[in-house]
Structure 1
Amino acid sequence: MSSKLATDLTALRSAVNDHLASTAGAWAGGATAVDGFLRRVVADLDRMPTLSVHHAEFRHYGAGYASYVDIFITKRDGSMRRSENGWTDVEGLTLALCRLAPLAALFKLDVQSSGPGGAGSRGLPDLSLVTDTALPGWEEEFRQIGQALDRHDIALLDSQVLSLPIGAELRVETNLGDPPYSVFDAWFHWMD
């Protein structure tokens, strides 16, 4: 049902204008209720048996507006962390939880780096990085993420749905993509 919401023209119109596009669950209570709900989802993700949340970005990257919460998840056992010369690299998966509707997108393995004085690097969500299948060595982790999202009635959208065009009449204010816009751009956008 939520993938149907993801392609609904009325919902897409709301999404591209940064308006809540669902009245399900927390979305019926407005932006503050959604933020609280998504914080509980992140806490649930952080309790997964083999995974932990390394970072969750609720602050819109410090500027502008992000239509999603950016979550970086890594293996709990520390096997995906490497430290050298004061820098730490962490390999993991990025999960974007939409603020506008109960939708999510999962991305391929990435590395986040952090170093002295708060220096660091990380990527932004991109449609070309969406993953639909478990990566080798991450099968159990994919299953756990899917179960956590299911518990909260959040639909994990695949690249086929996210790649669909949204129509020329809909314009998305985003630093993450260019026209012609896709379903991904409508639900997962950021403008600084």
Structure 2
Amino acid sequence: MVVEHAEFGHYGSGYASFVDVFMTRRDGSARRVDPDGCTTAEGLPVALCRLAPIARILSPGEPSHHPDGRGYHSRPMLDAVTDMPIPGWEEGCQQISQVLDRHRITLVSPHLLSRPALPHLKIDTNLDDGPHYSIFDVWFHWMD
């Protein structure tokens, strides 16, 4: 696995409680370049929490980017939290898990992340509509 894209900023403004890292296959087999120069890569998004040493591998995605700056990239959301290993990505999940383990970053389970947060908790986030937030929203939130 290799890092295709990492968003260490805050998507241009606001605040992201996570670093968004997109991993793809090192051999290039999951990457394609269209004749117009648009690059699309299939791979695994990884949300690295800025608030605690935790992370979550999310459902496979296909972000794209073009040399002129346009492209498509999704943000981490609870509905992308999935069980592992992810079919077709078993080896990649294992590699990512091993690297996170070496850095003492814990992969949080989908079961825990989907549990409800405290009932009256208000989270400033554009990633969920509320008013009932999950543990995912507590750790992985973004507000523009």
When the two structures are superposed, what TM-score results if normalisation uses the length of structure 1? Answer: 0.72
1:117 pairs with 2:73:
no
1:166 alignment partner in structure 2: 117
- Can you list the C-alpha shifts for 1:5-63, whole angstroms capped at 9, x where unaligned? xxxxxxxxxxxxxxxxxxxxxxxxxxxxxxxxxxxxxxxxxxxxxx1001111111111
Matched length: 142
2:52 alignment partner in structure 1: 101
Compute the displacement of 1:125 (Å): 0.6
Compute the displacement of 1:82 (Å): 1.0
Gaps of 5+ in 2: none
CA RMSD, 1 decimal: 1.0
1:34 alignment partner in structure 2: none
Q: How does 1:127-142 map to 2 (within 5 A)?
A: 127-142=78-93
Q: Which has the higher helix share?
A: 1
Moved over 2 A (4+): none
Gaps of 5+ in 1: 1-50
Compute the displacement of 1:116 (Å): 3.7
2:68 match: secondary structure: helix
Given residue 53 of structure 1, which amino acid in structure 2 is its aligned partner?
A: V
Compute the displacement of 1:170 (Å): 1.5
- The separation in 1 between residues aligned to 2:93 and 2:69, in whole angstroms, is 30
1:184 pairs with 2:113:
no
User: Which shifted more, 181-190 or 136-145?
Assistant: 136-145
2:111 match: secondary structure: helix
1:52 alignment partner in structure 2: 2
Within the candidate set 96, 103, 112, 1:152 is matched to 103
Identity %: 54
1:67 pairs with 2:17:
yes
When the two structures are superposed, what TM-score results if normalisation uses the length of structure 2? Answer: 0.94
Q: How does 1:11-90 map to 2 (within 5 A)?
A: 51-84=1-34, 85-90=36-41
- The separation in 1 between residues aligned to 2:118 and 2:88, in whole angstroms, is 38
1:101 match: secondary structure: coil
Given residue 30 of structure 2, which amino acid in structure 1 is its aligned partner?
A: M
Compute the displacement of 1:135 (Å): 2.2
Given residue 136 of structure 2, which amino acid in structure 1 is its aligned partner?
A: F
